[in-house]
Amino acid sequence: MATTTLKTSALPREFVFNGTRIPDPDPQMSIEQVRDLLTPSYPEIATATMTGPEDTGTSLRLFLLQSHRFERLSHASV
């Protein structure tokens, strides 16, 4: 009987904020640590809502939605 070897690898995280793709600064960091690191460059991230991850096949994409924008999107679907 033939044996099958499974190979696994972790997909890198990728963050998307306001249409901008932001590579993961450190895969060992928690989501909150990444948020804290990115907030000085993108202040709106401090109150952004996170959705995802979305598996793109090459990365796990996490979306950071601005709070006011998220509210408009959720009200539009009602």
Tell me the pLDDT band of 8, cut-offs 50, 70 and 90: confident
- Provide the whole-model pTM: 0.69
**Model pLDDT, residue 64:** 87
One-letter identity of residue 39: T
> What phi-psi label fits residue 13: left (phi over 0), alpha (psi between -120 and 50 degrees) or beta?
beta
pLDDT value at 70 more than 50: no
Q: What is the CA radius of gyration of the chain?
A: 16
Q: Indicate if the pLDDT at residue 11 is higher than 70.
A: yes
pLDDT digits (tens, 9 = 90+) for 21-65: 999 999 999 999 999 999 999 899 888 888 999 999 999 999 988
What size, in residues, is the chain? Answer: 78
Residue 8 CB neighbour total at 10 angstroms: 4
